[in-house]
Amino acid sequence: QVRVWHWAPSSAVSHPTGRRDRAEAYRGIAGGANGAAVTVPSSFWRPTIRMNEEHSYAALGFYGAGDDAYGESGCGSPLLSSSSSGLFSSMATSVMPPPPDVQKIADTHYPPIVLSSLSQLRNDEQLCDVELEAEGETILAHRVLLAASIPYFRAMFNSQMKETNQRRIVLSDISCTALRQLVNYVYTSELLISGENVQQLLFAASILQMDAVSDHCQKYMSQWLTAQNCLSLRQFAEQHNCSSLLLSTDAFAVEHFAEIRLTPDFLSIPYAHIRDLIRRSDLNVNNEQEVFDTVLQWLASDLSDRRSYLPDLLKHVRLTQLTPAYLQEAVMKHPLIATDPCCMQQVAAAACSLAAGYSGAGMTSSHLSDDASHPGTSKSAENTGEYAAAATAEGEGRERREQSLSPADPLRPLSPAGDRVWPRKSVAGVIFCVGGRGTAGDPFRSVEAYDWRRNRWFTIAEMTTQRRHVGVVSAHGKLYAIGGHDGASHLQSAECYDPAERMWKALAPMRTSRRGIAVGALEDAIYAVGGLDDAACFQTVERYDIESNSWTSVAKMNIQRGGVGVAALGKFLFAVGGNDGTSSLDSCERYDPHLDKWKLVAKMMNRRAGAGVCVLDGSLYAIGGFDDNAPLNTCERYDPRRDEWTQLDNMSCARGGVGVAAMGGLVYAIGGHDGMRYLNSVEAYDPVLNKWMPVSSIKECRAGAGVSWADVRVADLSPKHTHESGCAPYNGIAPCV
């Protein structure tokens, strides 16, 4: 409810003629405010006072009509202000409720209205106080708006530069077209970016320190990178300190290296650029031979000036990822290599590593390498020699500790010999997570694959049968899923995924249906070990011959093991933990296929069933699992040379029924059950740092999934990834930010 207080003529208050009279009039008004209207001469007071009984002052309008009635200035000031405490306090206590909290008014239409008005003033050439000259043309503007919007002019107008007070300012390094567009942007907040003007705009914005415009231009240019313009745009970005564009061009060059290395511009890049490219682990190549050939190609284009760079560049070629034949025939015998002692030393060290069976390519124990199909990968240490010697963690660890690398980092360490230990991410293989079950309880058919370069999981073709507690292993670039449970019954069926055909095919079934099975690949055969059904846990082991597609029984284990973990290390197959039908086990044993005999080895430090088991650098890893019904976050490592287990850093959470595989010098723990819920989280263990790090999560929460590394490429599993570039320039409005 609003009450209108008005002032009418009355003899109660005389027209004041001086300061004293005015003061008495004010007191009279205050004194008369007792709930009834108080009046003064209409010639003295103007509008009404509107008061709200719920809100103390809706408006206060004491305005005098005479020149002398407004105080000393006579310029139309309000007669009463917030400092007129006598009147305010008297009225508040006698007739008004308490004043409300302060209210803030925000008019979102106000800024664009002001900007539009300024733009109109400029168009009408009104109040313009500065002229910008570029390429002989003049652009009018308002100094204060330039200073408020463009850091370059703010610094100029607030310094002791001669241009501070000049009306005309000459800008010699900026094109008139770009300058005019940027000044228009200041007045309108809109900017038209096209393929024809983007470089001039970016250059001008960089000089004027207009970061928002610079970012828009860099983003625009990043959208139409091609193999033909990538290197020249990188040079432009480097010259003008465009960090965002620099990152985009580098990422594009890494992704499209195979195309870019064949362009004429590539031969002109400086040493530092080619070094930075070939040292990256995420460089997208088909094999390491491409990298070596690229180095020779770049050197040959200016051999007299570049020959001295060869030893340093060769350090970043991962020589142990070349086949022994290529290393001996193409590398060692190349004239530039053969005549350089430093280069020959590097090549000889790599040859020794390959002869010892260590390439860094072996990511897990349960695979059979196929050199013919993957020329950039040689056989792993785990499959040559009893326990092939791997590079020591101490030697390769020094650089890794300095760099504090995470699983997604682009650089990996050097071996003690100076050779790159780990393969490029594009040829490092793929980790598969197969089947299992989640919160709904039904087993999965689905299969997820891990792309190391992009730190992401993607799905491939589903299995023909849903399977939980399934045994999974890779051999000769194919993925095998064996046994398990389909939600209704135990399975003896098996199937194989061929990346070339991108589909699963049925194989000969096992002799025994079983879940909680573990499988390992050794010497052109796959072994299905242990497991259980509703009646018992098994000691039995079956051998699958890949060539004949048939199963045969081999020697039984010493102990029955359901939920066992299996991995191949050297010439042996290891069975780790499990459950004997009564309790979880800490015992382990190894199988010698030549003697067809199992032998007990050192016990683990923890009892484990449903643990993940894999091999990395000649050691066996046992991760998580259950101690009876209690899920574990503990981990341990077995040294076959010493026949002993050592405790490792704990995972971030307990994981029973976890899937485990090794790739790129890291051990990955995938999914599982923590005692409360199924997990989709993934973490990776760095054995040098003795530390677990988070990795991108799988799409489904899974426990009892089969996990294995396979010697295949991501590109072989899914359609080629396209760079979201839109290679043709387009026009677009860049909004004000």
pLDDT confidence of residue 719: 58
pLDDT at residue 309 is higher than 60 = yes
Percentage of the chain beyond pLDDT 70 is: 75
pLDDT at residue 308 is higher than 90 = yes
pLDDT confidence of residue 591: 98
pLDDT confidence of residue 52: 45
Q: Over 351-403, what HEC string results?
A: HHHHHCCCCCCCCCCCCCCCCCCCCCCCCCHHHCCCCCCCCCHHHHHHHHHHH
478-513 burial, b if ≥16 CB within 10 A, otherwise e? bbbbbbbbbeeebbbbbbbbbbeeeebeebeebebb
Query: How does DSSP assign 50-87, residue by residue?
Result: EEESSSS-S-----BSSGGGG-SS-S---SS-TT-HHH
Q: Is 120 helix (H, G, I), strand (E, B) or coil?
A: helix
pLDDT confidence of residue 96: 62
- Crossing angle, helix 288-300 and helix 271-278, to 10 degrees? 170
Q: Is 208 helix (H, G, I), strand (E, B) or coil?
A: helix
Calculate Rg over the CA atoms of the chain. Answer: 39
pLDDT of 406-464, one tens digit each? Answer: 333 333 434 434 433 678 998 889 999 999 999 998 999 999 999 999 999 999 999 99
pLDDT confidence of residue 360: 52
User: Hey, how many other C-beta atoms are within 10 angstroms of the C-beta on 414?
Assistant: 21
pLDDT confidence of residue 234: 95
Q: In what order do the strands lie in the sheet with 447-451?
A: 456-460, 447-451, 430-434, 706-710
The residue among 193 and 730 whose pLDDT is bigger is 193
* Residues 45, 79: Cα–Cα separation, whole Å: 10
pLDDT at residue 171 is higher than 80 = yes
The residue among 643 and 43 whose pLDDT is bigger is 643
pLDDT at residue 37 is higher than 70 = no
Long-range contacts of 400-408 (CB under 8 A, 24+ apart): 400/686, 400/688, 400/689, 401/688, 401/689, 404/689, 405/686, 406/693, 407/452, 407/455, 407/664, 407/666, 407/684, 407/693, 407/695, 408/455, 408/695
* Residues 220, 734: Cα–Cα separation, whole Å: 10
pLDDT confidence of residue 105: 87
Q: Which residues pair with 430 in a beta bridge?
A: 710
pLDDT confidence of residue 2: 43
**How many secondary structure helices (H) and strands (E) does the chain include?**
19, 33
pLDDT of 450-490, one tens digit each? Answer: 999 999 999 999 999 999 999 999 999 899 999 999 999 99
Q: Which CATH number fits domain 110-210: 3.40.50.300, 3.30.710.10, 3.30.70.1400, 1.10.1040.10?
A: 3.30.710.10
pLDDT of 488-539, one tens digit each? Answer: 999 999 999 999 999 999 999 999 999 999 999 998 899 999 999 999 999 9
DSSP 331: I
pLDDT confidence of residue 90: 45
Task: Dig out the tokens for 314 from the structure.
Answer: 């060769």
- Asked if residue 156 lies in contact with residue 141, where contact means CB atoms within 8 angstroms, the answer is no
Rounded to an integer, the average pLDDT of 624-642 is 97
Rounded to an integer, the average pLDDT of 52-76 is 39
Which residue reads 């005309």 in tokens? 168
pLDDT at residue 621 is higher than 70 = yes
CA angle 247, 251, 253 (to 5 degrees): 115
Domain spans of the chain?
Answer: 2-94, 110-210, 425-716
- Asked if residue 386 lies in contact with residue 570, where contact means CB atoms within 8 angstroms, the answer is yes
Lowest-confidence segment of 129-138, 593-602, 616-625, 715-724 by average pLDDT: 715-724
pLDDT confidence of residue 359: 53
Lowest-confidence segment of 24-33, 71-80, 339-348, 691-700 by average pLDDT: 71-80
Q: In what order do the strands lie in the sheet with 518-522?
A: 518-522, 525-529, 541-545, 550-554
pLDDT confidence of residue 22: 46
Long-range contacts of 227-232 (CB under 8 A, 24+ apart): 227/256, 227/259, 227/260, 227/263, 228/263, 228/265, 230/256, 230/260, 231/260, 231/263, 231/265, 231/266, 231/268, 231/269, 232/265
Average pLDDT, the chain: 81
pLDDT confidence of residue 165: 83
pLDDT confidence of residue 95: 58
List CB contacts of 559: < 8 A, sequence separation 6 or more.
539, 578, 580, 585, 587, 589
pLDDT of 90-123, one tens digit each? Answer: 444 455 667 778 888 888 999 999 999 999 999 9
pLDDT at residue 400 is higher than 60 = no
Task: Dig out the tokens for 44 from the structure.
Answer: 């003295």
The backbone torsions φ and ψ at residue 150, rounded to the nearest 5 degrees and listed phi first, read -125, 110
Task: Dig out the tokens for 278 from the structure.
Answer: 């070939």
* Residues 287, 310: Cα–Cα separation, whole Å: 20
Rounded to an integer, the average pLDDT of 635-640 is 98
CATH of segment(s) 425-716 = 2.120.10.80
Q: Are strands 168-170 and 130-134 parallel, antiparallel or unpaired?
A: parallel
